[in-house]
Amino acid sequence: MSSLAVGTGGSRKRRLAPPTQRRSETLLLLGPCVLYLVAFSIYPLIASLIRSFENYNPTKNTWTWIGFQNYHDLFTSGQFGSVAEQTLILTGAGVAIQVVAGTALALFFNQQLRGAWVVRGILILPMLLTPIVVGLMWRALLNPDWGMLNWIFVKLGFGYIGWLSDPNLALWTLVLVDSWQWTPFVFVIVYARLQALPQEVFEAGAVDGANWFQRFRYLTLPLLMPAIVFAAVFRGIDAFRTFDLVYGLTNGGPVISTTTLSFQAFQNGFEFQRYGYASAISFVMVIAAAIGITLLFRVVNVRRLEVAS
């Protein structure tokens, strides 16, 4: 930090403030931010890490240190494998569908179509809704008795479909609903990037005789990749911790076929009062997410180098 001072003899001199003053200014400016981080991020994180090594007794309202027992219980519960797998399916399949569909929509709307702005506006509406509302809305649409989707399917002669009650289908219904809500997000990101791409590159490609597919494969896609990766990473993190959609739509069932790690943490923490166990699940999620993102960024960096070369 520097300051201006008026020197003797009327001449303006620029000099640095003494180190002590600079330190206090730094503290003053960064202090609130650091305090905020400590109070709302670091302290809860450490507190919940400690809790993950403890057991809460609701009848005595006491906490007991039990070491790694919660983690041991989690990994040997018999449910962890399928819950983790479901979380990964919801994340992987959901993000893949959203990236492909969102990019396709962006490319489609990048053409100068008449009235496209109206459709674009409507298209992004789902992502403006909160996931719990989306869950409840879709629960109504999928209602077994008066839901619109089953009504249409029955009228078309397909018969009744147990969207939320068939253990083999419920998770894919969640993927569908999640994709319905978040494809517009990928669309917006990719579309914004498309609008900013330099046209000269494409003109040069056309002059060199590249066909539509070649222009897409060797020009559009590499140039869009940063936006696609950003959208995928963002959505991946978000989908990995999906809770509200599960809560609103399936409550983790049938059996545990749509239970995600977040939902399992919620259920154990807030419904069964197993706070320590819920904290352990959350920490496993944090570690898994950190590893996943680190690996992903390493892959992304390689791609960038490839593109640059």
The residues that touch another protein, with contacts defined as CB under 8 A, are: 58-61, 73, 77, 142-145, 150, 160, 162, 164-168, 250-256, 267, 270-274
Report CA-CA distances (Å) from 30 to 1, 2, 23, 37, 39.
13, 16, 10, 11, 14
Smallest gap from residue 83 Cβ to another protein (A): 12
Other Cβ atoms closer than 10 A to 257: 18
Rounded-to-integer distance, Cα 270 and Cα 204, Å:
60
Smallest gap from residue 218 Cβ to another protein (A): 48
Q: Which amino acid is at 299?
A: V
| CB closer to another protein, 82 vs 301 | 82
Report CA-CA distances (Å) from 95 to 129, 163, 234, 250, 258.
18, 20, 10, 20, 17
| CB closer to another protein, 135 vs 236 | 135
| CB closer to another protein, 205 vs 254 | 254
Smallest gap from residue 82 Cβ to another protein (A): 12
Residue recorded with tokens 């909160």: 130
Read off the DSSP letter of residue 166. -
Work out whether strand 12-16 and strand 54-57 pair parallel, antiparallel, or are unpaired. Answer: unpaired
| CB closer to another protein, 117 vs 146 | 146
Work out whether strand 62-65 and strand 2-6 pair parallel, antiparallel, or are unpaired. Answer: unpaired
Smallest gap from residue 185 Cβ to another protein (A): 28
| CB closer to another protein, 73 vs 120 | 73
Smallest gap from residue 57 Cβ to another protein (A): 8
- Torsion sign, CA atoms 20, 24, 25, 30: positive
CB 192 within 8 A of CB 63: no
Q: Which amino acid is at 242?
A: T
Smallest gap from residue 55 Cβ to another protein (A): 9
| CB closer to another protein, 24 vs 77 | 77
